[in-house]
Amino acid sequence: MKISEIKTPAYVCEEAKLRKNLEILKRVKDESGAKIFVALKGFAFSGAMDLLNSYLDGATCSGLHEAKYAAKYLKGEICTYSPAFKDDEIDEILTLSSDVVFNSFNQWKKYRQKALNSGVSCGLRINPEISLSPCEAYNPCGENSRLGVSLRNFEPNELEGISGLHFHALCEESAQSLQAVLAEVEKKFGKYLSQMKWINFGGGHHITRKDYDVDLLIELIKKFREKYGVSVILEPGEAVGWECGYLLASVLDIVQNGRNIAILDTSAEAHMPDTVLMPYRPAVRGECEDGKFEYLLGGNTCLAGDIIGLAAGQSLYKFSHELNIGDKIIFEDQIHYTIVKNTTFNGIKLPDLVLLKENGEAKIIRKFDFDEYERRN
Ligand SMILES: *Cc1c(COP(=O)(O)O)cnc(C)c1O
C-alpha cells in the first residue's frame, strides 16, 4: 500500500526512524556493556517488534499482560515489575519472566519461596528519593510515592535471595540527571550494591533525543559496573519510540466561531492522551510560525475541551495555506505512550496501526472497528 492510501485515523510508525533510535541504543549497549530492555508500558507496536529483537535484550513489563505480550512478540529476557502482584497471576508471571522485581518487603516475603523455587532472578525496587522530573504526576520519587522501598523502610536482614536492585527515578531526563540519581543511590544504598548481580537503572533516559549526552551515559555505566562488579540494565520506553512516527488524521469539516476550527477524525482525549495529561502541544507537520491561516484543531468527540494543545495552553496552529475539507493532518511523534493508552471514548474509532517500511511500503498491522468498542462496553 502507498502512504496516500492509508485510511485515517492511523498511527504510522516509520521503520527508518525507529532503526536510527535502535542504532543509538545499540551503541550504548556495545560501548557500556549494559543490557537494554524496551519498556512495553511506553512502546508496544507489534509490527516493530522483529526490528527491536535484532537490537535489544528483551522487555520490561508492568504485569501479566505485558509479560504475555513480550513472550509472544519478543525474544530475550522478560523483566516484570508491578507495584503489587496478585495471587492469581504470580505463577504465570514467574513462568514467563527471567527477572521479577518486587516493590516492597511485604511482597518479597509473600512470594519469596515461590519465586526462588521458580528459578527467576529476584530484585527489589528501591526509591532513592531524588527525582528531577518536571511534573509531579511523572515523579516516581515524590512525596508519599508508593513506588519502591525508601531507605527508612529498607530491611537489610531480608536480602537473602535478592539478586538485583531496581530504581526508576527519571522522566524525559538527561545523563546529568542520571548522574545525580546515581550519587544518591550510592549514598543511601551503596553498601548493598556489591552483593547484587545486577542493578536496573529504570527508564526515563531520553537517550535518543538530539541533545542527550550519550558519551556521559556510557561513562557512568562503565564506572558503575567496574566499581560494584554488577551488570547494569536500562529499560527505556520513550527513548525507543521517540520521534519515530506520527498520527495521521483528516479534516472532516471547518467551522467558524471567533476562530477557524478544523474538526478532525481523531481526538486529543482518546488518541493523544498525554497531550492532555502531561500536558503538551504536539507539533504538526507543515505548520509555520508566521503562517497567515490560523486554526484550532478539534477532535471528533462531544467533549468541548477536545481541542489539540488546549490543555497545554497553546491550541493555535498556523499554516501558510488554507486548510480544506479532506486535507490530511500529521501530528508528529505520536508512537510512544499513545497506542498503549488510547481509548474508545465517545465510540470514536481507534486509529489503525501502520508500519511505514524502509522501502516506502505502508503495511497495515492492525485495523480497528466497531467490535473494539463493543467488547469494552
Ligand atoms: C515508565 C517506566 C519505564 C519507562 O520509562 P520511559 O520514560 O518511557 O523511558 C521504565 N521502568 C519503569 C519501572 C517504569 O515505570
CA pair distance 256, 335, nearest whole angstrom: 31
Nearest to 203 by CA among 232, 234, 180: 234
Atom of ligand 1 nearest to the CA of 236: 9
Is the pLDDT score of 98 beyond 80? yes
Is ligand 1 within 6 A of the CB of residue 39? Answer: yes
Q: What is the pLDDT of residue 133?
A: 74
pLDDT tens-digit map of 303-319:
999 999 999 999 999 99
Q: What's the gap in Å between 61 CA and the centre of ligand 1? A: 10
Atom of ligand 1 nearest to the CA of 140: 15
Q: What is the pLDDT of residue 137?
A: 80
Is ligand 1 within 6 A of the CB of residue 208? Answer: no
What is the average pLDDT across 142-155?
96
Q: Are 181 and 147 in contact (CB under 8 A)?
A: no
Q: Are 316 and 295 in contact (CB under 8 A)?
A: yes
Q: What's the gap in Å between 336 CA and the centre of ligand 1? A: 11
3-class DSSP state for residue 362? Answer: strand
Residue 353: phi and psi, rounded to 5, are -105, 125
Is the pLDDT score of 193 beyond 80? yes
What is the average pLDDT across 92-110?
98
Q: What is the pLDDT of residue 377?
A: 95
What is the average pLDDT across 314-333?
98
pLDDT over 90 percentage in the chain? 97
Q: Are 103 and 84 in contact (CB under 8 A)?
A: yes
Q: What's the gap in Å between 326 CA and the centre of ligand 1? A: 38
Q: What's the gap in Å between 357 CA and the centre of ligand 1? A: 27
Is ligand 1 within 6 A of the CB of residue 126? Answer: no
Is the pLDDT score of 138 beyond 90? no
Q: Whose CA is nearest to atom 10 of ligand 1?
A: 203
Q: What is the pLDDT of residue 131?
A: 79
Is ligand 1 within 6 A of the CB of residue 42? Answer: yes
Atom of ligand 1 nearest to the CA of 206: 9
Q: What is the pLDDT of residue 101?
A: 98
pLDDT tens-digit map of 42-61:
999 999 999 999 999 999 99
Is ligand 1 within 6 A of the CB of residue 171? Answer: yes
Which region holds residue 107: left if phi is over 0, alpha if psi is between -120 and 50, else beta?
alpha
What is the average pLDDT across 137-161?
95
In this prediction, residue 134 has a pLDDT band, given cuts at 50, 70 and 90, of confident
Is ligand 1 within 6 A of the CB of residue 237? Answer: yes
CA pair distance 148, 141, nearest whole angstrom: 8
CA pair distance 242, 150, nearest whole angstrom: 31
Q: What's the gap in Å between 112 CA and the centre of ligand 1? A: 24
Q: What's the gap in Å between 164 CA and the centre of ligand 1? A: 17
Q: What is the pLDDT of residue 311?
A: 97
Q: Please state, in angstroms and as integers, the Cα–Cα distance from residue 57 to each residue in 30, 50, 238, 279, following that order.
A: 12, 12, 16, 32
Q: Are 38 and 60 in contact (CB under 8 A)?
A: yes
Is ligand 1 within 6 A of the CB of residue 166? Answer: no
Output DSSP code: residue 194: T
Is ligand 1 within 6 A of the CB of residue 204? Answer: yes
Q: Are 293 and 260 in contact (CB under 8 A)?
A: yes
Q: What's the gap in Å between 341 CA and the centre of ligand 1? A: 14
Average pLDDT, the chain: 97
Nearest to 153 by CA among 198, 102, 200: 102
CA pair distance 323, 245, nearest whole angstrom: 22
pLDDT tens-digit map of 256-267:
999 999 999 999
Nearest to 235 by CA among 317, 307, 178: 178
Atom of ligand 1 nearest to the CA of 336: 8
**Grid cell in block for residue 353:** 496501526
Is ligand 1 within 6 A of the CB of residue 63? Answer: no
CA pair distance 248, 346, nearest whole angstrom: 19
Atom of ligand 1 nearest to the CA of 101: 13
Nearest to 97 by CA among 61, 147, 150, 127: 61
Is ligand 1 within 6 A of the CB of residue 299? Answer: no
CA pair distance 13, 181, nearest whole angstrom: 32
CA pair distance 63, 74, nearest whole angstrom: 16
CA pair distance 263, 299, nearest whole angstrom: 6
